[in-house]
Each structure stands twice: as C-alpha cells, then as structure tokens.
Amino acid sequence: MISPNSIDQLLNAASVEDVVGDYVNLKRSGSRFKGNCPFHDEKTPSFTVTPSLGIYKCFGCQKGGNSIQFLMDIENLSFTESARMLAKRYGIDLVETNVGNKQEYEETQKLREGVQAVNDFAMEFFSQQLHQENEGKNIAIPYFRERGFTLETIKKWNLGYSPESWDAFHKAAKKAGYKDDLLKSAGLIKTRESDGSHYDLFRNRVIFPLLAVSGKVVGFAGRIMGKVENAPKYVNSPETELYKKSDFLFALFQAKNAIKKQDKVLLTEGYTDVITLHQAGIENAVASSGTALTPGQIKLIKRFTYNATVIYDGDTAGIKASLRGIDLLLADEINVRVVPLPEGEDPDSYCKKLGPEGFQDYILQNEKNFIFFKAELLLSGAKDDPILKSDAIKDILQSVAHIADALKRNALIKELTRICDVKEEILAQELGKLLRQSIIQDKKQFLNQVDNVIKLSIDDIPQNPLTDIHQEFALIRLLLIHAHKSFDETQTVFEFVIQEYLADESIFFKDPLTIKFMNSFPDEEGIKVWPGAEFYIRHIDTELSSFAAGVFSNDHVLSPAYLDNLIYVKTEDDSYRDAVIAIFLNIRRTKIEEIIIAEQQKLMEPDAEDSIDETLEYLDYLNTIKIEIANKLGNVVSRF
C-alpha cells in the first residue's frame, strides 16, 4: 500500500488542471476551467476543474475526484497504477508499506498490467534491433532515411525494426521471463496450427509504436520490408486490453498540445503522412490508421477541438468512398473542412515537394467547407444526367441534415442553391423531410430501448392492465383520423401502431371499447389491415360507431385570421406522428412504474439484504429511463 504522506505529496505536485488538460481541452472560466466531459457525450460543457481544490467534477454524468481518480477513470487503472503513473511523471518517490504489499501486487498483476509491461519490453526490443543490430542498420535505417526521416525523428517516434527471423522477439521475450499466454494476449506472437509452435507477428517489418493519449504504448504497426508473397503491406496489433482500433488515433499523444493551441486538427490516413508533417513543423496532424472515422475517434477529437480539416490523397474514388464517415463529424457538431491533394499525391509526398511553408500555404488556400466540397465532387460526376444529379443532391442534403445548428443549415442551403442550380425552397423542402425522418427514427429507437428494459423485467411483475383510459381513447382517435397516413417512408401510422402493439406483450388495454377496437382489424393472409374510418362509422356495433362519429363530428378548424396575420400554429396534421409516439411513451412509462413498484417491494422481503445494492442500482436505472421518457414528453417526474 502507498503511504498517506506519499499520496499527499503526489496530489500537491500533480496539478489537476495539468493532468486533466492532457485529455480535455480546458478553457478558463473565472477561477475554474471548463470543458466537454471525456466520460460521456455532451454538447454543452458540464465538466469543471477547480485548481484551488484540486478536483474535477462533471455535472452531467456525476464523475468527479482528484488527479489520481481522474487517471483511474480515464485510463481504467487501479489506484496504485494511477498513483505510480503520476509519480513517474512528476518525479515523486512513492513510499509503499510492506503490510499487504505482496497481496496487492498479486492482485494488480492482472492482464492489463501484464500487457502493458510486455508492450514496453517490445518497444525497447524493436528500438534496439533498429539502432544496435546490423540487420536493422542495413535494412530499416535506409528505409526510414529514404522516407526523409531524420535520426532525431526516428528516435522521437520510437521507431523500430523486427528481424526477419521467425522468432527473434519470441526468444528474447521468453528469456526476459514473459509467458506465451501473455505474449499472445498482447498480440505480439501467433500460434502455428500445424504444430502449435509460435512465431513473431511483426517479423521482417519496420515498427511504428502506437501510443495512447497518455503516452503509453498500447500496440504496434509494422510495414513489411521487401516483397513477400501473400504478406500484407501493413500489420497492426489485434485488439487487446489496451488497444481498440476504433478508439485510437495515431499521433494524438504527440499532437494534442498543438491541436489545443491551434484549435484545429488535421486528419490524414497514414503513419508516414503524420510523421512527415510533424517533422515539417505541422504538429497538429493525426491519422485514422486507414479506417473510416468512428464515434470513438471523434470523441477523442472533441476532447481537444471542434475544428477538423481532412486531407485527402489525390484519389477521387477513394475520396468518394470515405465521404460517409465525415457525416459522423458533422453530427457531433464539429466544423469540417476538406483539402484535396493533386492526383497521385499524399500528405507525405506533397509536403516534401512543396516544403513545410508551401504545404501549409496550400492547406490554407485550398481547404473548403465539407458540404461545398462534397457538392462539387458529386455534381461533377453527375454531369448532365438529371437522375444522377437528383441522387447527388439528396446525398448532399443527407450530410446537411446531420448538422444540428439551424442557422448553419440555412446558410448552407443558400449557397447550395447556387452550386446545385436548384431553387432554395425546393432544397429547404427536401431537407425538411430528411430532418423529420431523422426525428421520428430517433424517437423509435428510444421506444425500442425502453422496450428492452420492459421485456427483461416483464416476467417479474404482475401483468396489470393499463389504467390511463385517456391514452387508450387518444390512440383510437388518432387511428380513426390518421391511420392511412404516412408515418415514415416505410409504413403507415396504422402499420406502426399495430407493430408496436403486437410486438410488445407488456401492453394491455383495460377499457372494453379499446379492447374491442383493437380486436376489430380484419386479417389478410395473417396480416392485420386498416379497414378505413368509414368501416367504424358504419359499424354494426353501436358503441364503435358512436365513438367514431363523435371523433369526426368534433373537428376543430383553425381560424383564417391566424394565416391572415402571418401567425403559424402547428396543427394536428403536422404533429400526429409525435402524438402517436407520445402515446406509446406514456404506455411504456406506465410499465416502468409497475417495474419500479415491483422492485421496491423486493426491498421489503426478508432476504432483501443480499441483493439490496443490485436492486437500488436497478431502481436508479429505471428512474433514469422514466425521466428520459418524461423529458421526451415534456413532463417532470420525481425520483422514488
């Protein structure tokens, strides 16, 4: 265990704003700092760092603590691992007591720590093979020199070399005491199926270490030397306890300070692209390592900036293939600009051709708003074909629809009117359709999430009927008036309602009229169909016909005076989709309430003490879902 005095000394030295600032773009707000929380997605900063108290706190996800706790949360470390990491950074000698030290050591020597240790060993091994062995000096150093890397750059980026021998690393690691299971867990060796022997994953390759935002090596990338039949040009570490490709950006550790200073990140594709740019003094560049951008990578970007410039190689086909990933950036409110390079060029080659200043000037002079760039690219491919042009415009508007800021969307539409040679009102109308579809889809996804909670718990609660008769009657009324109308591009309102009703066994209706109405739909080859409102107006069951008549006789018409005075009032024709969704949200809220009551009853049972923490945690989760439903409905509900 670490002595209390050592902890005090460490926290006094480890400035919380410096520690957090390595992961979050903090901006001063009075005596505090604010930024976007790195632990959950948010649009408005709710993450606060208070240097005078040495603490951080997120008022969104409620995470908080000191510098040690922050590293524990962000790096998924134990307390001891986090303290040791900070002590190494700030030059603090930790005093660890002997009491229980062996047991603690054994507990913390789990897979994550073991993988980290063997990664550190591997990086040192590859570096030694490059700088101290003849094979590395004669094969790998000339390759790096040919790429234009200086010796200083090679050492700064910890570049290395893995020998051509099948098991040079494996032998060295075994000699150092690392077991095969750990080496395989780290993705550094593989097993032959023929005889069960092992060989090095990165043999005969120059090595690019992959560093996390903290600077720790989490994996490797290796480029083959020479031409080897059936061998891939690049090999990356498989996903391990430390490395997940979709949550990693190459060079973010080296680039983060420059990104924060310039408030902009340059996104490239390859390792050598990034290293060349950094060597040229363009140090805010990172690489997606050849993958389309992922939500995890975008979350990393948002820690440091909301401005991104994507540098595309001069390959039109490749650019078109990667456009869709940029929509994720737009959806996360990142301002995206694009710089296309000339045909046949990449950032590595073109920076060398133009020189550092020339390349930076090229970026400034040629970067374009992504939407305009996409429009020009797709429309140039459509030429004079009206069908291709129509498809291109729809694709462009799909990207615009991802932008949350209405003012930005409006400004883009005005400019796209000129680029696309289409009237502004037509573009605005099409964009409106896409936005409505997106809202409906989001709400349906939320319904599905609530369904999952209910279905997991439905067997544990009494299957009581609904008690809110008004919701039932509202559903009948909406069906009578709007059942035949489009809910979205794939289904009518009736089809949506019947699908939700039949698919969810937790939904029960209490009122006899509602039950009768929901059982009245005719079947066509086993599929429920809507018979039309007139079917109910003329129904032989007087209760059904009376209800239908009452619905259609109570038709409220908006006074023409509103339109005459240019006052827009949202009518039911505009909002029936939202009304249908709201009814099902209310239904599900009722079921959530039932589950909460059932779980609260469990707390009163004689053996409740054995599972009280689990039950309370589940109740807290259910109340979170209930509050989310209430927010969707515009209501306020209290916690239990």
Share of the chain above pLDDT 70, in %: 81
**Per-residue CA distances from 355 to 19, 254, 280, 328, 369 (Å):** 35, 21, 8, 32, 25
Question: Tokens at residue 609, please?
Answer: 């003490």
pLDDT of residue 496: 86
pLDDT of residue 637: 41
21-30, 166-175, 256-265, 307-316, range with the lowest pLDDT: 307-316
**Per-residue CA distances from 21 to 163, 247, 322, 367, 633 (Å):** 39, 19, 31, 29, 38
With bands split at pLDDT 50, 70 and 90, how would you rate the model's confidence at 71? Answer: confident
Task: Please report the sign of the dihedral spanned by the C-alpha atoms of residue 621, residue 624, residue 626, residue 629.
Answer: negative
The ranges assigned to domains in the chain are: 4-106, 111-243, 247-366, 461-633
Assess whether pLDDT exceeds 50 at residue 607.
Answer: yes
Q: What is the mean pLDDT of residues 577-595?
A: 79
Give the residue with greater pLDDT, 387 vs 501: 387
- Helix, strand and coil content of the chain, in percent to the nearest 5, comes to 55, 10, 30
Bridge partners of 65, per DSSP, are: 56
Sheet holding 234-236, edge to edge: 160-162, 205-211, 217-224, 234-236
Q: What class is the 4-106 domain? A: alpha beta
pLDDT of residue 535: 78
563 HSE (CA, 13 A, CB side):
6
- Whole-number Å distance between alpha carbons of 552 and 533: 9
pLDDT of residue 450: 62
pLDDT of residue 105: 44
Assess whether pLDDT exceeds 60 at residue 460.
Answer: no
**According to CATH, what is the number of the domain 247-366?**
3.40.1360.10
Assess whether pLDDT exceeds 70 at residue 537.
Answer: no
173-177, 366-370, 571-575, range with the lowest pLDDT: 571-575
Q: What is the mean pLDDT of residues 165-175?
A: 95
71-80, 230-239, 451-460, range with the lowest pLDDT: 451-460
Assess whether pLDDT exceeds 90 at residue 331.
Answer: no
98 HSE (CA, 13 A, CB side):
0
With bands split at pLDDT 50, 70 and 90, how would you rate the model's confidence at 454? Answer: low
- Whole-number Å distance between alpha carbons of 210 and 283: 17
- Whole-number Å distance between alpha carbons of 270 and 313: 10
Assess whether pLDDT exceeds 80 at residue 623.
Answer: no
Bridge partners of 309, per DSSP, are: 266, 337
pLDDT of residue 170: 96
- Whole-number Å distance between alpha carbons of 389 and 142: 50
- Whole-number Å distance between alpha carbons of 284 and 360: 12
Q: What is the mean pLDDT of residues 109-116?
A: 78
Task: Give the chain's mean pLDDT.
Answer: 81
Give the residue with greater pLDDT, 318 vs 37: 37
Q: Which stretch, 102-111, 450-459, 469-478, has highest mean pLDDT?
A: 469-478
332 HSE (CA, 13 A, CB side):
25
**Identity of residue 163:** P
Q: Are 84 and 1 in contact (CB under 8 A)?
A: no
Give Cβ neighbours of residue 137 (< 8 Å, ≥ 6 apart): 130, 131
pLDDT of residue 199: 94
With bands split at pLDDT 50, 70 and 90, how would you rate the model's confidence at 640? Answer: very low
pLDDT of residue 123: 97
Check if 4-106 and 111-243 are the same fold: no
pTM to 2 decimal places: 0.61
With bands split at pLDDT 50, 70 and 90, how would you rate the model's confidence at 319? Answer: confident
Q: What is the mean pLDDT of residues 542-565?
A: 58
Render pLDDT for 267-278 as a digit per residue (tens, 0 to 9): 998 899 999 999
Q: Which stretch, 57-61, 171-175, 225-229, 527-531, has highest mean pLDDT?
A: 171-175
pLDDT of residue 140: 95
Assess whether pLDDT exceeds 90 at residue 145.
Answer: yes
Bridge partners of 47, per DSSP, are: 35, 58
Give the residue with greater pLDDT, 480 vs 325: 480
- Is CATH 1.10.10.10 the classification given to domain 111-243? no
- Whole-number Å distance between alpha carbons of 496 and 625: 22
Q: What is the mean pLDDT of residues 23-44?
A: 84
**Identity of residue 381:** G
- Whole-number Å distance between alpha carbons of 537 and 203: 79
Assess whether pLDDT exceeds 60 at residue 84.
Answer: yes
Beta strands in 406-487 (DSSP E): none
Q: What is the mean pLDDT of residues 192-213?
A: 93
Render pLDDT for 420-440 as a digit per residue (tens, 0 to 9): 888 888 888 888 888 887 777
